[in-house]
Amino acid sequence: MPATTAKSVSARKSAQQERSKAKIQLILDTTLAMLNEGPADKITTNEIAKRAGISIGSLYQYFPKKEAIFYSLFSEWLQETLDRLDDVGARFSGSENLDDLSDAVFECLSRDDSINSKGHWQLLRAMGSTEELAALEAEHQREVFQRIVGFQEKFGRSIPPEKAEVLATLQHHVTVGCLATAAQIGDHPERAAALDWGRKAMRFIYDIEKLNA
């Protein structure tokens, strides 16, 4: 079996012209819409091309396989998530209540379908399907961990170095659970209550002093 390399899930051709950029975005948007409807393993490149209204040959000009599309989608999602976290962090000096920061993180990530949809969480489930996708997810976790720990230290929370990674892992997975719930419940009658529970869970998990009480 041939060795798998990061290049195998890279976009085949970069989009130099506006027309090419538009076609790549169409492929990405179509794939995300299909992920909103069902699991990643049920999606094929032929179906993506058909739904997008392009030929399979045209799709392959840019992406050699569906995992390459997933890689591009996840890379965009990762960057947008990190940008939003950085924007939130920049709004706080550390003199405020840590709950306010936690609320701001939850609000900026939970209420916008462009960053928190069912399709995004189907995409996350697909990230273990190849070594390259798993490596990108690991990078995502490292970047998020750095920000989570940095936020708490800005607010004067002392986190022992030997506990930082374990704590950030716990906080990350609780955050993922809260955000995924917000995406998956849609317009459920109890949506407001679920969002409030998620907000409170994140307030608790983001404060090591509360955890240690």
CATH class of 70-212: mainly alpha
Cα 70–76–77 angle (5° rounding)? 85
Task: Determine the number of helices (DSSP H) and then strands (DSSP E) in the chain.
Answer: 10, 0
Using CA atoms, how far apart are residues 101 and 142, in angstroms rounded to an integer?
20
Using CA atoms, how far apart are residues 140 and 135, in angstroms rounded to an integer?
9
How much is the average pLDDT of 24-36? 97
Per-residue pLDDT at 3: 39
Q: What is the pLDDT of residues 86-105, one digit of tens each?
A: 999 999 999 999 999 999 99
Q: State the pLDDT confidence band at 4, using cuts at 50, 70 and 90.
A: very low
Please count the other Cβ atoms lying within 10 Å of the Cβ belonging to residue 10.
16
Q: Report domain extents, the chain.
A: 70-212
How much is the average pLDDT of 7-36? 81
How much is the average pLDDT of 154-179? 91
This prediction has a pTM of 0.83
Per-residue pLDDT at 57: 96
The C-alpha torsion from 146 through 77 and 72 to 129, rounded to 10°, is: 70
Q: State the pLDDT confidence band at 132, using cuts at 50, 70 and 90.
A: confident
Q: Greater confidence, 158 or 202?
A: 202
The C-alpha torsion from 24 through 25 and 28 to 34, rounded to 10°, is: -120
Using CA atoms, how far apart are residues 86 and 69, in angstroms rounded to an integer?
26
pLDDT at 1 over 50: no
Q: State the pLDDT confidence band at 9, using cuts at 50, 70 and 90.
A: low
- Is the CB of residue 195 less than 8 Å from the CB of residue 133? no
pLDDT at 10 over 60: no
- Is the CB of residue 37 less than 8 Å from the CB of residue 27? no
Task: Count how many residues are written for the chain.
Answer: 213
Per-residue pLDDT at 137: 87
